[in-house]
Chains A and B, each alone.
Chain A
Amino acid sequence: MSNSSPPVYRNSLAEHSNGRPLAKFASNAFAVACATCTIVCMATLVVLLWKIFQFGWGRVNLDFITSFPSSTAENAGIKSSLVGSLYLIGLTALFSVPLGVGTAIYLEEYCKPSRWRTFAQTNIANLAGVPSIVYGILGLGLFVRAMSLNRSLLAGALTLTLVILPIVILASQEALRAVPKTIRQASYALGATRWQTVWGQLLPASLPGILTGVILALSRALGEAAPLLAIGAATYTAFLPQDIVHDDFSVLPLQIYNWTDQPQEAFHQAAAAAIVVLLTVLICMNALAVFLRYRFSKRIQW
């Protein structure tokens, strides 16, 4: 990150159109078009959030968070699904981070360019685009049935790991690639082994990038409903999972999906309130990422 070039200098370059009015007009028009895109995105988001908050805010209270789901909308709460979501996201992080970062390190630092590497790389890129429901079906066959994990948190977390693994790998690779070649060369020149280079130089340097990727991927996992529905995650559970291999669990997106599908307006309000809670969890996760990113990037001194 270089912040040495003063913005004034850059601006004066852009203004320097040398009497080409058409070029200047095109430049300005493009700026307006980009600004419009930004405004459209922001406005849509703001309106959406505003409507959700307006509708659901009145329903968010301690009772809502500490009650189990119910067939009467007034008593319905998100205790089991909120706890389920938190467990699930924790387990998913536990599985996907070591696997994903490990794969990225292997592909970037150890694996020589070869057909095998190209093959692996292409497949990972393709897998990132596979609809998550497909992973749900795979999870049902592999984790729920073949490994007899039932409809448990472990099965759910492993399924979500499959969903986000390609994203974690690609983001980590990108972050590793962004570390200048000279750092590696300097490290080797000082006699460091490959392992010492990776652990002592590359990982700390790429950590902010990796973290961003991981948090984005986990945020996606937090909002997934389809693959969990496929493996048979519950919508109604009036208990908290006590262990991760036997107990059924529920998650917020499933609860929201269920409530929006009910005929009663009061359930729609509960859904909006659950969305508010889900968004809050997401914002907390992102805030944590920003904080960690800030802390780790401060340590990098080249």
Chain B
Amino acid sequence: MHFIRGWESHFAGWFSSRLFSLLALPALLCGCGGQGESIRIDGSSTVYPVSEAAAEAYRVEHPEIRISVSQSGTSAGFSKFVKGETDISDASRPIKDSEVEEARANGIEVVGFVVAQDGLAVVANPENDWCDSLTVEQLKTIWRPEAKGTVSTWQDVNPDWPDVPLKLYGPGTASGTFEYFTQVINGEKKASRPDYTPSENDNMLVRGVSNEKGGLGYFGYAYYAENKEKLKLLGVDAGEGDGPVKPDEASVKDGSYKPLARPIFIYVSKKSLARPAVSEFVNFYVENAEKFAVQKLYVSPSQDELASNAELLKSEATAHLEPTAAN
């Protein structure tokens, strides 16, 4: 439910700051305590499966730590994270400067780790025998806002292709995947042709493309991997002379599948990291991120990202040992 993002924080902020600050009394009566052993995670629904896998695996060794994972969306998750309401924020995009500022204003420093890479698959119907790959230029021809009404058949994309109606499926306009795709392909965030079938549930996109001969859609690679017989995976040609590349574990990991592969993150508040329970869990999560990513059909972070993770862990994981860091 990504539609909560954006105006959610505006209204919530208004209610909390102006109207009802007097009502904080019950919190004084029954506040405090209960904090000790719990770790709160919220944010992107794309990252959710990885965090869930990490929380579950950690529970085997540490059943006393109460970890909860929510998925209210990257932006909604950050809006809670910067107020100190959550310890870890799942994100399918890097944190924005404005969000870092807001966190700092609340006395929260953040540290981010790449936990996986998500390749966006461009897929067509299995009956489509004319197209094996698309260039970034062609994708732009299909998906840019001006394409509305002018690009309506496959022939409009390439004159050699048949006159089959082009039926487009993609994520809803509030999702991080949509934001990423439009930015990379159309050159502007959220600039997309409006006449496609959107759904927040990627399984609906799978169904749509697999039922339409002229279907074309994009979504996370995991949804292709689970529906290989119903879909045809298309290669993407970045136009840099390397030819079309199809996404798979190797091509996403080594970066040759571009530009539709992106890192996904967790952000941790340093304040929370000062608590041994959190820092131990984050250590465990980040060190085993490759395993959790692969388990949930994502691709593990690149070598560079893994190296930077390790370095960050080394410098941050000891934070709780310094008495000054404790809060």
A→B interface (CB under 8 Å): 69-71, 133, 136-138, 140-142, 144-151, 225-226, 229-230, 232-239, 243, 245-248, 250, 257-258, 260-265, 268
Contacts and interface: CB of A to CB of B under 8 A. Distances in A.
Interface in B29-71: 30-31, 33-35, 38, 40, 42, 45, 48-49, 51-53, 55-56, 59, 63, 66-71
B268 to A, nearest CB: 17
| Listed residue (B13, B16, B80, B200) with the most chain A CB atoms within 10 angstroms of its CB | B16
B34 A243 contact: yes
Contacts of A229: 1, 4, 70-72
B68 A71 contact: no
Given A140-B12, A232-B70, A263 B4 contact: no
Given A235-B69, A261-B45, A262-B49, A146 B55 contact: no
B4 A149 contact: no
A246 B34 contact: yes
Contact residues of B: prevailing secondary structure: helix
A133 B38 contact: no
A295 B35 CA distance: 46
B23 A234 contact: no
B15 interface: yes
A150 to B, nearest CB: 7
Contacts of B68: 151, 234, 236-237, 248, 250
Nearest to B64: A239
Interface string B93-136: 00000000000000000000000000000000000000000000
B213 interface: no
Given A142-B19, A146-B15, A146-B21, 6 more contacts: A147-B26, A232-B80, A235-B48, A236-B51, A236-B55, A263-B227
A224 B26 CA distance: 26
Contacts of A141: 11-16, 20
A247 B38 contact: yes
B34 A238 contact: no
Contact of B16 (A71, A142, A230, A239): A142
Given A232-B72, A261-B45, A146 B52 contact: no
Given A142-B16, A142-B23, A236 B69 contact: yes
Given A226-B1, A232-B80, A71 B49 contact: yes
Contacts of B25: 147
Nearest to B225: A263
Given A261-B45, A263-B222, A146 B16 contact: yes
B23 A147 contact: yes
B223 interface: yes
Contacts of A151: 40, 68, 70, 85
A77 B235 CA distance: 38
18 contacts: A71-B53, A133-B4, A141-B12, A142-B16, A145-B83, A148-B31, A149-B26, A229-B4, A230-B4, A232-B42, A236-B55, A236-B68, A237-B66, A238-B56, A261-B45, A262-B49, A263-B202, A263-B297
Nearest to A268: B203
Residue from B71, B76, B200 whose CB has the most chain A CB atoms within 10 Å:
B71
Contacts of B26: 147-149, 245
A123 to B, nearest CB: 17
Contacts of A140: 8, 12
Contacts of B225: 263
B172 to A, nearest CB: 12
Contacts of B20: 141-142, 146-147
Contacts of B193: none
B275 interface: no
Contact of A263 (B7, B24, B63, B223): B223
A151 B42 CA distance: 11
Contacts of A137: 4, 7-8, 11-12
A146 B85 CA distance: 12
